[in-house]
Amino acid sequence: MVSASNHGRGSEPFRRAPAPTTVHMNDLLAFAAVAALWFLMQFVILPRMGVPT
């Protein structure tokens, strides 16, 4: 965290460089991963452990 704040001024242009679509794609991929994990836990792992859903 300290190094990130140290190089904040230098990395700021790089943060604005990628197009909004790529950032949105990364957000969608992260959300899809979380949703898949939640789906697995809710409908696969919990019933196998015997926890009623």
* pLDDT, position 21: 66
Task: Tell me the per-residue pLDDT of 8-50, one tens digit each, with 9 for 90 and over.
Answer: 555 555 556 656 666 678 888 999 999 999 998 888 888 788 8
Which residue range(s) make up the domain with 14?
A: 2-49
Task: Return the pLDDT at 29.
Answer: 92
The DSSP line for 6-49 is HTHHHHHHHHHSS-HHHHHHHHHHHHHHHHHHHHHIIIIIHHHH
Structure tokens at 32: 């899809």
pTM (predicted TM-score): 0.44
Would you mind telling me the total number of residues written for the chain in this entry? Answer: 53
Residue 20 tokens, joined: 């909004």
Calculate the dihedral angle through the C-alpha atoms of 27, 32, 33, 39, rounding to the nearest 10 degrees.
150
Into how many domains does the chain fold? 1
